[in-house]
């Protein structure tokens, strides 16, 4: 049956935001929050990409003096910090924010206000880094600022503080987001979606969130220690007072390595969704894919030392870390097998999202294989900190995560906007980006093997690196052009694209059951799930349950393993408090760059904001009578 229009109207009244600016500032709609994340991160990706192009220009000829070393060092620091902390991870969180409730047939995230808080705080981190850049306090020591170089003795001024505090912002935001995503997936699944019937995408987002919870505290801790060394003269990393510079590297990479998989694992979720839909068959090896993601998540915590082989740690550990690092190839290889097997045995068609998947496999595997090479403790001594690593990390992050993300963007774009992107321009962008990327980054493997170190602002003419650098620059320029075509396509299609309808691709999961773009309440009823691919039931009406309130914001909470409905939970409505709390936290973070007193003093407004946030909205107790409400 079609839902009754008066029911939809009532739902819309209950769930829509207040109009205008106030609605903008107070919204807790997961779709609006995710869209903000995505727009901000894509804008930053463009800016950081321009920095990259600028650096490529500088390196296209030897002994170039166009950029000063200071400017070059700032550029790669800003590029790396932005791409890792402000683009990749937030984009993946945003995709989870946008898609998870829709794929669950739920009305919102588990903690709607926490979601809004995450975004505002992330945005504070963005402003911290880029406003500091605008007033020339740009961090200039790379995306991992090793002490003692980043310590008080060698980096006076506030550049390193800005970097460290930007991390605090984004990590608090990411931690809050990951708790939110994990709780949503674990506790808000529709009846019937047992863990065994959970789409790979949701598994990927769940694992990535749990990995975030275990890894990001490390970077928060280590940047706090760095700030303390700089601000209140603690001695964590100063050798003269018993500190140890390598401690920083251990803690940083205990986060830094899982970070790579926190970016890659959601991408495997995108790939799984896209491959299933366009192969028109149930994903081959669902449990293999899930187990692969789980084992990647577990292994990721056992191999941070492979970023530190040149530090000169005891040789005994080398073999262990080599084997553990290479072992990642097993789950990753099996995932690729499952996807290709699904494509090969389905009735597959290849519109733009699928092209991105093919581009992803062909490109990412190169990054995976160069990763196997660098995983060798011995061989890494020749490869680490050279352009080989620059090539490797971009193949893994761009080929392995950003290509699937572009595919996901094209795949879910009609769901978000109600319009299709142009296939023709989509293909043009695909060819330019994948071609330009490979042309730009493949030569960097060779540059590394010919001895060119990372993070050099120039190089001598007689080293024979000129030609490969020029090719790399040309390739980057082509890829950036492709990126502009992609963005133009997305923008034009927003107004002029063909209307897509609710389910243009014949998708397999629940987000395709609702209208495009989805209404504020997401879906009129609570669907009941009987299979991995609930939308593929031969076109019959979807079995669904009613009974979740329509006149107040309410969501269904179910049990963790078998998704048995447990109770109806009130869901928070629009509120200004997440923004106020984020402002209070931001003020404390920024002020603490200048004085440690900011922390105790700044805690007061934060406490006030949180009190306002959590102050429950219930009638006052009647004087005298101490009775529980019914």
Binding positions for another protein, 427-486, rule CB under 8 A: 438, 442, 445-446, 449-451, 453-460, 463-464
Residue of 488, 547, 561, 595 interacting with another protein (CB under 8 A): 547
Query: Are 354 and 278 contacting, i.e. CB atoms less than 8 angstroms apart?
Result: yes
303, 420, 519 from 504: Cα distances, Å? 42, 8, 17
* Residue whose tokens read 């081959």: 284
Residue of 53, 127, 195, 288 interacting with another protein (CB under 8 A): 288
* Piece of 17-25, 158-166, 427-435, 617-625 that binds another protein (CB under 8 A): 617-625
Distance between CA 551 and CA 400 in Å, rounded? 44
Query: Least Å distance between CB 307 and another protein?
Result: 12
Query: Least Å distance between CB 345 and another protein?
Result: 6
Query: Are 159 and 531 contacting, i.e. CB atoms less than 8 angstroms apart?
Result: no
Residue of 10, 194, 382, 470 interacting with another protein (CB under 8 A): 382
- What phi and psi, each to the nearest 5 degrees, are found at residue 517? -65, 155
Q: Which is nearer to another protein, 484 or 611 (CB)?
A: 611
What is the pairing mode between strands 565-570 and 526-527? unpaired
Query: Least Å distance between CB 397 and another protein?
Result: 18
Query: Are 56 and 477 contacting, i.e. CB atoms less than 8 angstroms apart?
Result: yes
Q: Which is nearer to another protein, 47 or 247 (CB)?
A: 247
Is position 94 an interface residue for another protein (rule: CB under 8 A)? no
**Beta bridge partner(s), residue 527:** 544
Helices (H), ranges, 60-88: 69-81
Residue of 14, 40, 108, 238 interacting with another protein (CB under 8 A): 238
Query: Least Å distance between CB 573 and another protein?
Result: 15
Query: Least Å distance between CB 482 and another protein?
Result: 18
Distance between CA 285 and CA 307 in Å, rounded? 32
Distance between CA 453 and CA 121 in Å, rounded? 36
Query: Least Å distance between CB 600 and another protein?
Result: 10
* Residue whose tokens read 């496999």: 361
What is the pairing mode between strands 526-527 and 554-558? unpaired
Residue of 53, 195, 294, 326 interacting with another protein (CB under 8 A): 326
Is position 589 an interface residue for another protein (rule: CB under 8 A)? no
Q: Which is nearer to another protein, 3 or 18 (CB)?
A: 3
Query: Are 138 and 159 contacting, i.e. CB atoms less than 8 angstroms apart?
Result: yes
* Piece of 32-40, 69-77, 88-96, 398-406 that binds another protein (CB under 8 A): 69-77
Q: 108 to 127, contacts with another protein by CB under 8 A?
A: 110-111, 114
16, 18, 192, 523, 569 from 12: Cα distances, Å? 6, 11, 26, 10, 18
Residue of 36, 281, 307, 392 interacting with another protein (CB under 8 A): 281
284, 292, 367 from 338: Cα distances, Å? 6, 11, 19
Q: Which is nearer to another protein, 366 or 579 (CB)?
A: 366
Q: 248 to 277, contacts with another protein by CB under 8 A?
A: 250-251, 254
* Residue whose tokens read 């000129």: 466
* Piece of 23-31, 125-133, 469-477, 510-518 that binds another protein (CB under 8 A): 510-518
Query: Are 363 and 438 contacting, i.e. CB atoms less than 8 angstroms apart?
Result: yes
Query: Are 478 and 441 contacting, i.e. CB atoms less than 8 angstroms apart?
Result: no
Is position 535 an interface residue for another protein (rule: CB under 8 A)? yes
Is position 47 an interface residue for another protein (rule: CB under 8 A)? no
Q: Which is nearer to another protein, 25 or 431 (CB)?
A: 431
Query: Least Å distance between CB 490 and another protein?
Result: 22
Q: Which is nearer to another protein, 112 or 124 (CB)?
A: 112
Is position 596 an interface residue for another protein (rule: CB under 8 A)? no
């Amino acid at each position: 049956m079609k839902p009754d229009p008066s029911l939809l109207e009532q739902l819309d009244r209950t769930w829509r935001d207040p109009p205008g600016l106030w609605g903008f500032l107070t919204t807790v709609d997961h779709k609006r929050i995710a869209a903000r994340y995505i727009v901000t991160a894509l804008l930053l990706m463009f800016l950081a990409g321009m920095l990259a192009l600028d650096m490529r220009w500088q390196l296209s000829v030897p002994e170039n003096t166009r950029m000063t070393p200071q400017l070059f060092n700032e550029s790669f620091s800003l590029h790396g910090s932005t791409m890792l902390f402000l683009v990749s991870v937030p984009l993946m969180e945003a995709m989870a924010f946008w898609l998870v409730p829709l794929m669950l047939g739920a009305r919102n995230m588990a903690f709607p206000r926490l979601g809004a808080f995450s975004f505002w705080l992330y945005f504070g981190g963005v402003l911290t880094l880029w406003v500091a850049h605008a007033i020339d306090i740009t961090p200039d020591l790379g995306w991992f600022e090793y002490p003692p170089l980043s310590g008080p003795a060698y980096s006076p001024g506030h550049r390193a503080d800005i970097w460290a505090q930007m991390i605090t912002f984004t990590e608090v935001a990411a931690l809050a987001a990951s708790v939110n995503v994990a709780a949503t997936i674990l506790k808000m699944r529709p009846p019937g979606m047992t863990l065994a019937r959970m789409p790979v995408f949701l598994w990927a987002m769940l694992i990535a969130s749990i990995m975030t919870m275990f890894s990001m505290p490390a970077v928060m801790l280590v940047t706090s220690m760095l700030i303390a060394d700089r601000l209140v003269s603690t001695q964590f990393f100063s050798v003269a007072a018993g500190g140890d510079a390598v401690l920083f590297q251990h803690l940083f990479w205990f986060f830094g390595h899982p970070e790579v998989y926190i970016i890659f694992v959601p991408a495997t979720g995108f790939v799984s969704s896209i491959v299933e839909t366009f192969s028109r068959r149930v994903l081959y090896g669902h449990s293999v894919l899930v187990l692969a993601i789980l084992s990647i998540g577990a292994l990721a915590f056992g191999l941070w030392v492979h970023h530190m082989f040149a530090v000169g740690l005891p040789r005994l550990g080398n073999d262990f870390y080599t084997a553990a690092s290479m072992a990642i190839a097993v789950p990753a290889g099996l995932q690729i097998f499952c996807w290709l097997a699904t494509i090969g045995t389905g009735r597959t068609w290849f519109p733009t999202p699928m092209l991105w998947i093919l581009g992803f496999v062909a490109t990412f595997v190169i990054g995976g294989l160069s990763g196997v090479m660098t995983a060798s403790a011995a061989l890494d001594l020749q490869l680490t900190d050279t352009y080989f690593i620059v090539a490797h990390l971009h193949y893994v992050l761009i080929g392995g995560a950003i290509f699937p993300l572009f595919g996901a963007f094209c795949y879910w774009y009609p769901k978000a906007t109600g319009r299709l992107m142009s296939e023709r321009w989509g293909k043009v962008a695909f060819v330019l980006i994948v071609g330009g990327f490979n042309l730009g980054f493949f030569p960097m493997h060779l540059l590394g093997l010919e001895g060119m170190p990372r993070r050099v602002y120039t190089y001598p003419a007689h080293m024979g690196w000129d030609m490969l650098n020029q090719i790399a620059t040309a390739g980057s320029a082509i890829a950036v052009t492709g990126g502009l075509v992609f963005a133009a396509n997305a923008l034009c299609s927003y107004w002029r694209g063909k209307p897509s309808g609710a389910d243009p691709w014949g998708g397999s999961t629940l987000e395709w059951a609702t209208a495009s773009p989805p209404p504020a309440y997401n879906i009129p009823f609570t669907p009941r799930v009987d299979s991995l691919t609930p939308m593929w039931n031969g076109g019959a009406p979807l079995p669904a349950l009613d009974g979740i309130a329509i006149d107040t914001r309410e969501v269904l909470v179910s049990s963790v393993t078998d998704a048995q409905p447990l109770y109806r939970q009130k869901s928070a409505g629009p509120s200004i408090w997440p923004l106020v709390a984020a402002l209070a936290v931001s003020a404390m973070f920024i002020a603490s760059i200048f004085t440690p007193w900011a922390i105790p003093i700044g805690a007061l407004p934060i406490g006030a904001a949180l009190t306002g946030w959590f102050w429950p909205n219930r009638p006052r107790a009647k004087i005298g009578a101490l009775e529980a409400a019914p």
